[in-house]
Amino acid sequence: MSSSLAEPRLEAKSTLDVPSNTMQEQPEPPLSKNKLKKLLRDQKWEEGREKRKELRKVKAKERKERKRAARNDHQHSPSDSIHEKRKASAEPEAPATKRPKTVKPIQLPVSFIIDCNFDDLMRDNERTSLASQITRSYSENHKAPFQSHLFVSSFGGLLKHRFDTVLAGTHHSWKGVKFLENGFEVAAREATNLMKTNRTEKFPGAFQKFGDEQGIEATTTSGEVVYLTSDSPETLTELKPYSTYIIGGIVDKNRHKGICYKRAMDRGFNTAKLPIGDYMKMASRFVLTTNHVVEIMLNWLDMGDWAKAFVEVIPQRKGGVLKEGMTTPNEPSEAITHDQAGNAAEPSPEERAELAKDVCPSGVDDLATKTPQHTEEHEQ
C-alpha cells in the first residue's frame, strides 16, 4: 500500500518540475503596424529637431526685417506731407484728451471703530455677513475723498478665523485700518493718541468751520467718544474733529435687543443715534448695516449735509425720501406728514418693542435698507 501511494506523488512532482527558463525562451510577439508607424514618426521627429531650430531662427530674422522695413516706409510715406498740410491749414486739430488726475484722499482727524465683541452671539451666516460688511466699510473708507482712521476692535474668534482662511488673510494688506484683539475702550484710546500725534494745520471738507488756529487747538482737547446705538436718547447733530465714533459690529436678527446701548452705558461711554428721523421718511423700518453707517458718516465728512449723506446711501426705491423742506441740489423735496413712521419724535416703549429697532449698527430711529452688495441685514 505504501508503494502504491507514493507513486502518484512522484508523478505529481515530475509534472511540477518545469524548467524556469521555458517562458524566457519563447519569442516576443511582433509589433503591430500602428506601433511601427508611431516609432518611425518619433524617430523622424527627433532627427529633424536641429532643422526646425534653424528654421525658427530664419523666420524670426525675416519678421524683424519686415518690421524694420515697415517703420522706414512709414517715416517716408506721403501721409507726413498730408499731416503737415493739415497743420498749416486754418482748421485746427482737436486737442488731445488728457486723463483726469487722481485726487489724493485727505486723512481727517476722526476715527471710526467697529466693535466686534459679539462673535459668540452670531450664527455662521450672520458672521459671514459681518465679515462682508467690514470689508465693505474698509473699501468705502479707502476710496473716500476724506478718510477716517478705521479700527476693528475685539477681532478674534470665528470672525478672525474666517478672515484668515476663507478670505485668505487679505486684511493684512489693508491700509488705514487697524485690527485689535482688545475691546473698543482700548481702541478708543489708541485712536485718540493717533489723532493727537498726527495733528493738522487746517481742516478741509465738513471740518472747515473748525479751521482757524484757535478752533483747531480747542477741538484737539475737546474731542468726544460716542457709541452709536438707536436706543440712545441723544441725537448726533454733527461729527467733530479729534472724535471717535463706535459702531456695533453685530448681525443678530434682533435676538439681542439693546445689547449695544447696555454695553456702552455699563462702561460709561456717551451714546447717540444718527438723525435719519429728522431728515428722512421711510416707507418701512429697516436697520442699517455696519457699512451703511460708515458710508453715511464718510458722506457727511465730504458734504457736511446729513440730507445729502442719507440720500446717497438710502435708495429711494426702498421708500427712503426726504422730508418736506429737506432738499438736495438736484432733487426737490416731497411733502411728508409728521405723524408717519418716519417721525423724528422718540417712539413709545410699545412701539420700540414691536419694531425692535435696537440692533447696534443702525444707531438711528428710521433705518435704511440694504444695497445689493450686502448679503445680510439686521431685519426687525
Helix axes 124-143, 157-164, angle to 10 degrees: 60
Catalytic residue among 231, 252, 358, 365: 252
List the one residue out of 334, 342, 349 whose CA is nearest residue 364.
342
Q: State whether the Cα torsion 225-231-234-236 is positive or negative.
A: positive
Decide: helix, strand or coil at residue 104: coil
3-state secondary structure at position 190:
helix
Known catalytic membership, residue 212 = no
The values of phi and psi at residue 78, to 5°, are -65, -15
Q: Which of 279, 368, 277 is nearest to 315 (CA)?
A: 368
Residues paired with 281 in a beta bridge: 321
DSSP state of 198: T
Are 368 and 286 in contact by the 8 Å Cβ rule? The answer is: yes
C-alpha cell recorded at residue 236: 448726533
C-alpha neighbours within 13 Å on the C-beta side of residue 185: 7
- Rounded to whole angstroms, the Cα distance separating 224 from 218 reads 12
Distance, CA of 361 to CA of 248 (rounded, Å):
5
Nearest-5° Cα angle at 94, 88 to 97: 140
Q: What is the largest CA-CA distance in the chain?
A: 134
Do the Cβ atoms of 203 and 222 come closer than 8 Å? no
Instruction: Show the CA angle centred on residue 375, arms to residues 152 and 144, nearest 5°.
Output: 50
Q: What is the DSSP string of 198-246?
A: T--S---GGGGGG-SHHHHHHHHHS--EEEE-TT-S-B-----TTEEEE
What's the residue count for the chain? 380
3-state secondary structure of 296: helix
Q: What are phi and psi of 365, to 5 degrees?
A: -85, -55
Residue type, 136: R
Catalytic residue annotation: 252
